[in-house]
């Protein structure tokens, strides 16, 4: 459906005020793949995503979209190529689902070009993909947390961009909804050749769904690659400062991290 | 995945648009009725057909000096001033409330009106100014206060929360300045300053509306250009940015427009309380999530102002109240109602 756009970071430094959070980071986001960024709290994964999405201006280096520094490109133009779902979007009071999802069409509308059948079709498609069609005319503030999250994803989908960046889209969701969201993102990648980057907390789901996993610690990439190649007990120890055992996920044959704490360790740990 | 028919989406959108149109139409009707009442009512009753004749007398040449003076020199200027200042207050209120995502963040709460007041009181008491000079002083005061709040709230960009807090602080400080000026003034000047502070349309002159109309003509296109940016800004800065909104420029542009509208309205009629504060929430309630409610807020503002002024003039026999007293009373009741309703449903707007 779309030709693939290339997103990368070179020598990227990001920070707030005088605090540097991401330092000298290089990353090539593989096109047409699902990339998952993992790491402990405050390792800079959300900051990296904001930098890649030009929501944060780098202190040094840059993120590049198709070879151009993304924060210097016209922001409207970027918005037609790259969609972002930030961590805590705000739903205006009393707005309906369809209306909110329709806001995703903003970059495609000019001052004079307003609503077109194309916009309606994009909203319909986004609502269908997220299974929110039935709730289209309901106010967002009457929905459950899981439904609300899907509305936001639908808004990002309605933007119809080749690249989609999502910051912890599964937070506040039950396990079944988490799996649903990741299945949906996988559909986008597999069926439509989109490039998706997600920050995730759940390591096992990350390992199962990622084509490409990026493990971060203290603002640097520790390792990246296919989960089956790079997720080792040493990597988990370094990234999360925790011992673990890696077994094979019985469902997907991907690495599955079994954490080892101080209690409930019945079998001897080698 | 389930397939959704795009025509359903279009249908829902048309429904929302038609609801928003119905609300607009209803408000315009109410305004026409209230305007008719404003032209007819008074110590010197003029029948409707005489009003119409008088309104068209410059075209038809059929004049009646006494009636024409009452209608064209007294009632029409007052009506226009009420409509224009009300609309300006309403617009400025909803711009601030939407932009700062807080129904309390209207210019009469976050210090802009206080800035105008403090400047006006300073002009009256310390400089001994009167009339148009005081209005200009109030205008400058509003702009200066807004600028100071923006600078103080700036830290790598401006967050809504900081603007509201600093604005409320500025309001308190400026109130203190007004109180201090009062303690230094003579009784006559205090009376004059108080009359200005309550806000009134008594001093409406034909020229006021013209100046005002010119301001609106300048600010409205700017507003139309910027208002689409609110669609994004409402969703949070990151989401707005992600959707391709130029966040800082749009916000600054909207703030300047909102401040200019509030400043002009305050300079013209004084800090008539609560009109800016109530218009947005009322408009949003009427439209019920169908659209942003911005044109409706302007209409609600004009209606509140006009009806309050009618009540102020005619509610009590043999006594005229300042318009600000009525809007203040109305605003207080509205605030209580808002608290009760939001306490029940858990939301504020």
Q: What is the domain partition of chain B in residue ranges? A: 3-345
User: Would you call B340 an interface residue with chain A, using a CB distance cutoff of 8 Å?
Assistant: no
d(C-alpha B188, C-alpha B190), whole Å: 5
What's the number of CA atoms in the CB half-sphere (13 Å) around residue A151?
A: 30
d(C-alpha B301, C-alpha A88), whole Å: 33
Residue of A19, A92, A129 to mutate for B, most B C-beta atoms under 10 A: A92
What is the per-residue pLDDT for B342?
65
| DSSP code of residue B156 | S
What is the distance in angstroms between the Cα of A91 and the nearest Cα belonging to chain B?
6
Report pLDDT digits (tens) over B165-188. 999 999 999 999 999 999 988 998
What is the per-residue pLDDT for B271?
87
Question: Is the CB of B12 less than 8 angstroms away from the CB of A55?
Answer: no
- Per-residue pLDDT band for B136 (boundaries 50, 70, 90) equals confident
Residues of B in contact with A59 (CB under 8 A): none
User: Would you call B19 an interface residue with chain A, using a CB distance cutoff of 8 Å?
Assistant: no
**Mean pLDDT, residues B277-291 taken together:** 85
What is the per-residue pLDDT for A47?
94
User: Would you call B235 an interface residue with chain A, using a CB distance cutoff of 8 Å?
Assistant: yes
User: Percentage of residues in chain B with pLDDT exceeding 70?
Assistant: 96
Question: Is the CB of B12 less than 8 angstroms away from the CB of A136?
Answer: yes
> Is B31 a residue whose pLDDT tops 50?
yes
> Is B139 a residue whose pLDDT tops 60?
yes
- Mean per-residue pLDDT over chain B, rounded: 87
Question: Is the CB of A79 less than 8 angstroms away from the CB of B242?
Answer: yes
Question: Is the CB of A127 less than 8 angstroms away from the CB of B243?
Answer: no
User: Would you call B165 an interface residue with chain A, using a CB distance cutoff of 8 Å?
Assistant: no
User: Would you call B33 an interface residue with chain A, using a CB distance cutoff of 8 Å?
Assistant: no
- From first CA to last CA, the distance across chain B in angstroms is 34
What is the per-residue pLDDT for B337?
83
Q: In sequence order, which residues have a C-beta less than 8 Å from that of residue A167 and are 6 or more positions away?
A: A46, A49, A50, A84, A85, A86, A87, A199
B220 near B261, Cβ under 8 Å?
Answer: no
User: Would you call B183 an interface residue with chain A, using a CB distance cutoff of 8 Å?
Assistant: no
What is the distance in angstroms between the Cα of B79 and the nearest Cα belonging to chain A?
34
Q: In what order do the strands lie in the sheet with A195-199?
A: A82-85, A163-167, A195-199, A34-39, A212-217, A220-225
What's the number of CA atoms in the CB half-sphere (13 Å) around residue B265?
A: 35
Question: Is the CB of A78 less than 8 angstroms away from the CB of B2?
Answer: no
Residues of B in contact with A93 (CB under 8 A): 284, 289, 347-349
Residues of B in contact with A113 (CB under 8 A): none
Residues of A in contact with B232 (CB under 8 A): 103, 106
Residues of A in contact with B239 (CB under 8 A): 84-86, 89-90
d(C-alpha B259, C-alpha B186), whole Å: 32
Tokens linked to B324 = 């600000």
Question: Is the CB of B234 less than 8 angstroms away from the CB of A90?
Answer: yes
Residues of B in contact with A46 (CB under 8 A): none
Residue pairs spanning A and B at CB distance below 8 A: 125
What is the per-residue pLDDT for B117?
92
By C-alpha distance, which of B233, B160, B291, B347 is closest to A93? Answer: B347
What is the per-residue pLDDT for A111?
66
Closest chain B residue to A17 measured between Cα atoms? B156
What is the per-residue pLDDT for B267?
83
Q: Is A134 exposed, middle or buried (0-12, 13-18, 19+ CB in 10 A)?
A: exposed
Strand partners, A34: A196
**Mean pLDDT, residues B138-147 taken together:** 92
CA A80 to chain centre: 17
d(C-alpha B276, C-alpha B301), whole Å: 7
Residue of A65, A73, A98 to mutate for B, most B C-beta atoms under 10 A: A98
B237 near B106, Cβ under 8 Å?
Answer: no
User: Would you call B232 an interface residue with chain A, using a CB distance cutoff of 8 Å?
Assistant: yes
Question: Is the CB of A128 less than 8 angstroms away from the CB of B231?
Answer: no
Lowest mean pLDDT among A210-214, B58-62, B238-242: B58-62
What is the per-residue pLDDT for A236?
95
pLDDT in tens, chain A (270 residues): 446 789 999 999 999 877 899 999 999 999 999 999 999 998 999 999 999 999 999 999 999 999 999 999 999 999 999 999 998 788 887 788 999 999 999 988 876 667 888 899 999 999 988 888 889 889 898 898 888 888 999 999 999 999 999 999 988 788 988 998 899 999 999 998 999 999 999 999 999 999 999 999 999 999 999 999 999 999 999 999 999 999 999 999 999 999 998 888 877 555
Q: In sequence order, which residues have a C-beta less than 8 Å from that of residue A262 and are 6 or more positions away?
A: none
Nearest to A98 among B9, B225, B243 (CB): B9
Question: Is the CB of A117 less than 8 angstroms away from the CB of B289?
Answer: no
Listed in order, strand segments (DSSP E) in A30-151 are 34-39, 60-65, 68-69, 82-85
> Is B7 a residue whose pLDDT tops 70?
yes
- Per-residue pLDDT band for B84 (boundaries 50, 70, 90) equals very high
**Mean pLDDT, residues B190-206 taken together:** 81
Most confident residue range from B58-72, B120-134, B163-177? B163-177
User: Would you call B349 an interface residue with chain A, using a CB distance cutoff of 8 Å?
Assistant: yes
Closest chain B residue to A112 measured between Cα atoms? B225
What is the per-residue pLDDT for A55?
93
What is the per-residue pLDDT for A168?
92
What is the per-residue pLDDT for B54?
87
Q: Which residue matches tokens 């000096």?
A: B65
Report pLDDT digits (tens) over B298-317. 999 999 999 999 999 888 88
What's this model's pTM, rounded to 2 decimal places? 0.86
What is the distance in angstroms between the Cα of A214 and the nearest Cα belonging to chain B?
23
Residues of B in contact with A117 (CB under 8 A): 6, 10
- Per-residue pLDDT band for B343 (boundaries 50, 70, 90) equals low
> Is B107 a residue whose pLDDT tops 70?
yes
Question: Is the CB of B244 less than 8 angstroms away from the CB of A92?
Answer: no
What is the per-residue pLDDT for A237?
94
CATH code at B3-345? 1.10.3470.10
Nearest to B1 among A50, A123, A128 (CB): A128
User: Sign of the C-alpha dihedral, residues B52, B56, B62, B63?
Assistant: positive
- From first CA to last CA, the distance across chain A in angstroms is 50
Nearest to B289 among A90, A96, A187 (CB): A96
Nearest to A120 among B10, B246, B349 (CB): B10
What's the number of CA atoms in the CB half-sphere (13 Å) around residue A224?
A: 16
d(C-alpha B262, C-alpha A60), whole Å: 42
Q: How high is the ipTM of this complex?
A: 0.88
Nearest to A86 among B9, B98, B239 (CB): B239
**Mean pLDDT, residues B105-133 taken together:** 90
d(C-alpha A144, C-alpha A36), whole Å: 26
d(C-alpha B216, C-alpha B85), whole Å: 10
Nearest to A86 among B5, B101, B242 (CB): B242
């Amino acid at each position: 459906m779309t030709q693939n756009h290339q997103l990368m970071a070179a020598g990227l430094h990001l920070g707030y005020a005088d605090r540097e959070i991401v330092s000298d980071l290089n990353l090539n986001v593989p096109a047409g793949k699902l990339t998952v960024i993992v790491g402990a709290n405050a390792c800079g994964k959300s900051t990296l995503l904001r930098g890649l999405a030009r929501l944060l201006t780098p202190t040094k280096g840059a993120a590049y979209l198709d070879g151009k520094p993304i924060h210097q490109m016209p922001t409207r133009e970027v918005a037609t190529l790259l969609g972002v779902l930030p961590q805590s979007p705000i739903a205006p009071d009393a707005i309906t689902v369809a209306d909110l999802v329709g806001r995703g069409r903003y970059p495609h509308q000019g001052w004079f070009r307003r609503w077109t059948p194309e916009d309606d079709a994009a909203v319909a498609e986004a609502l269908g993909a997220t299974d929110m069609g039935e709730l289209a005319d309901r106010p967002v503030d009457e929905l459950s947390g899981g439904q609300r999250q899907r509305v936001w994803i639908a808004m990002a989908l309605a933007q119809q961009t080749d690249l989609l960046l999502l910051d912890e889209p599964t937070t506040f969701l039950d396990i079944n909804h988490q799996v649903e969201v990741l299945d949906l993102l996988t559909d986008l990648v597999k069926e439509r050749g989109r490039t998706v980057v997600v920050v995730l907390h759940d390591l096992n789901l990350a390992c199962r769904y990622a084509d490409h996993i990026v493990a971060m610690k203290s603002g640097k990439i520790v390792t990246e690659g296919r989960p089956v190649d790079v997720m080792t007990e040493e990597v988990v120890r370094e990234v999360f400062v925790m011992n673990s055992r890696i077994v094979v996920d019985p469902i997907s044959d991907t690495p599955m991290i079994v954490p080892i704490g101080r209690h409930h360790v019945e079998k001897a740990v080698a | 995945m389930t397939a959704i028919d795009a025509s359903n989406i279009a249908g829902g959108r048309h429904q929302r648009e038609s609801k928003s149109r119905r609300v607009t139409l209803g408000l315009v009707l109410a305004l026409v009725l209230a305007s008719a009442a404003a032209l007819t009512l008074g110590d010197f009753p003029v029948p409707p057909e005489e009003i119409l004749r008088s309104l068209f007398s410059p075209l038809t040449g059929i004049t009646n000096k006494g009636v024409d003076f009452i209608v064209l020199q007294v009632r029409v200027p007052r009506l226009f001033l009420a409509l224009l200042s009300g609309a300006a207050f309403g617009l400025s209120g909803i711009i601030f409330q939407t932009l700062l995502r807080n129904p309390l963040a209207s210019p009469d709460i976050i210090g802009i009106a206080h800035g105008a007041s403090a400047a006006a009181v300073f002009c009256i008491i310390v400089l001994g100014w009167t009339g148009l000079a005081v209005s200009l002083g109030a205008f400058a005061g509003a702009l200066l206060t807004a600028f100071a709040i923006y600078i103080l709230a700036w830290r790598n960009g401006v967050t809504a929360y900081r603007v509201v807090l600093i604005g409320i602080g500025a309001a308190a400080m400026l109130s203190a300045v007004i109180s201090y000026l009062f303690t230094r003034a003579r009784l006559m000047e205090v009376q004059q300053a108080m009359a200005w502070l309550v806000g009134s349309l008594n001093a409406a002159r034909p020229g006021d509306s013209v100046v005002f109309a010119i301001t609106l003509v300048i600010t409205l296109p700017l507003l139309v250009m910027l208002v689409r940016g609110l669609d994004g800004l409402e969703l949070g800065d990151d989401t707005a940015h992600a959707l391709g909104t130029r966040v800082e420029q749009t916000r600054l542009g909207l703030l300047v427009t909102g401040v200019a509208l509030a400043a002009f309205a305050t300079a013209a009629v004084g800090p008539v309380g609560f009109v800016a504060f109530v218009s947005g929430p009322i408009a949003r309630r009427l439209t019920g999530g169908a659209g942003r409610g911005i044109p409706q807020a302007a209409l609600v503002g004009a209606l509140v102002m006009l009806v309050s002024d009618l009540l102020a003039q005619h509610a009590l026999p043999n006594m005229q109240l300042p318009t600000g007293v009525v809007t203040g009373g109305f605003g207080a009741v509205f605030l209580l109602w808002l608290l009760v309703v939001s306490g029940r449903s858990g939301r504020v707007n």
